[in-house]
Structure 1
């Protein structure tokens, strides 16, 4: 199955989130992974053709990833 550019971008962001969670302490790692999963599942019902919303959520996700990947952030709840 071929993926569109936006679908590839969404999957790429999700993989980046999981990779960043591996850099956190073992105790906090499941919290980061479940947070990422929940954030993506919130938008699972979006129409694939709602490009403006998807692009907005991608930008928001990149900003959140940048913030949470900071070494100063130890845990998320």
Structure 2
């Protein structure tokens, strides 16, 4: 199946999130992985032609990744 540019960006962001999880302490990794998964699952029902919403969520996700990937963040709870 061929993916659009936005779909590739979303998958890339998800992979970046999972890679960032690997840099966290082993005891808290599942918290980060669960958080990442639930954030992406919230948008599963979004219309794939709603480009504005998708681009907004990508920007929001990149900001969150930058914040949570910093070495000072050891755990995440929601």
Give the TM-score of the pair, scaled to structure 2. 0.98
- The unaligned stretches of length 5 or more in structure 2 are none
1:76 aligned residue: 76
In structure 1, distance between residues paired with 2:66 and 2:58: 12
- The unaligned stretches of length 5 or more in structure 1 are none
Give the TM-score of the pair, scaled to structure 1. 0.99
2:26 aligned residue: 26
Q: 4+ residue stretches of structure 1 with deviation over 2 A?
A: none
User: How many residues end up aligned between the 2 structures?
Assistant: 77
Over aligned residues, Cα RMSD in angstroms?
0.3
